[in-house]
Amino acid sequence: MCPVTSGAPAPAPAPAHAAFRILVFSRTTGYRHASIPAAITAVEVLGSFNNFAVDATDDPTVFNDANLARFAAVVFLNTTGDVLDSAQQAAFERYVRGGHGFVGVHSASDTEYDWSWYHTLLGATFDSHPAIQQATVIVVDTGQQSTRALPNPWVRTDEWYNFRALPTGVSVLARVDETTYAGGKMGVEHPITWQHAYDGGRAWYTAMGHTACSYSERPFLDHLLGGIEWAAGIP
């Protein structure tokens, strides 16, 4: 059962004149997170209250030039495994190079291991995780859209990812304090959320978001909203 928090607001009608549109992509060919439906609903609610439209799908055929041009940002929401073929990958690369945004949530880093461009865009590659448990997140950069509203320190429960290597060339926004949970393998500076400009576009990633409870947690939703808006180029 999720803790009682001030969570996602009740659904509102989609904005009649949305400021921008995002694509939420949740295809999995490996592990499929049970939290995906709750996550999609939460993003749709965020859009309805923050003047952006959301198209959610797990259909990879939407990755073509004409369709992708409709979106300010694409969200890989707990994707796993190989989710795009080579033509779809090429279309997504062109999309990012055209100045668009990417948001990766949690197991987006457990996706497309053989696509090197994607993992440079994302910043790191999943390696392992301990059991779901409470830990303390330290906000490193409190001045960004996705961090301004966060408590600091931020104590929350999630599945805390270890990566094959630390991300390079990114701006780390938050790290998880390995002294506050068991199973961390990245050391003192264990990044958990970051952003960077890459290949003409913008990429924001958080390793948080495994649990369905995350998507009724007000600080996490504020964090995700800020990441979406930053990736979409909305100040």
85-122 pLDDT tens trace:
999 999 999 999 999 999 999 999 999 999 999 999 99
Measure the CA–CA gap between 152 and 146, rounded to whole angstroms: 13
pLDDT of residue 16: 57
Q: Average pLDDT in the 194-223 region?
A: 99
- How confident is residue 203, by pLDDT bands cut at 50, 70 and 90? very high
- Check residue 164 and give its pLDDT: 98
Q: What's the domain count of the chain?
A: 1
Residue 7 lies in a domain: no
User: 20-60: per-residue pLDDT in tens?
Assistant: 999 999 999 999 999 999 999 999 999 999 999 999 999 99
pLDDT of amino acid 235: 86
Q: By the 8 A CB rule, do 157 and 211 touch? A: yes
pTM value? 0.95
Assigned domain for 11 exists: no
pLDDT of 7 > 90? The answer is no
Mean pLDDT of 68-89: 99
Q: How far apart are CA 16 and CA 201, in angstroms?
A: 27
Least confident segment among 4-8, 57-61, 142-146, 168-172: 4-8
Tell me: pLDDT of 5 over 70: no
Residue 189, classed as helix, strand or coil, is: coil
pLDDT tens column, 122-162: 999 999 999 999 999 999 999 999 999 999 999 999 999 99
163 lies in some domain: no
Instruction: Decide if 187 is inside a domain.
Output: no
* Assigned domain for 209 exists: yes
Residue 12 maps to a domain: no
Q: How far apart are CA 229 and CA 192, in angstroms?
A: 19
Determine, yes or no, domain membership for 3. no
Specify the pLDDT at position 18: 82
The reply to whether 105 falls in a domain is yes
What CATH number should be reported for the domain holding residue 88? 3.40.50.880
Handedness of CA 219, 42, 79, 56 (dihedral sign): negative
Q: For residue 101, give its domain range.
A: 20-126+192-231
Q: Quote the pLDDT of residue 4.
A: 47
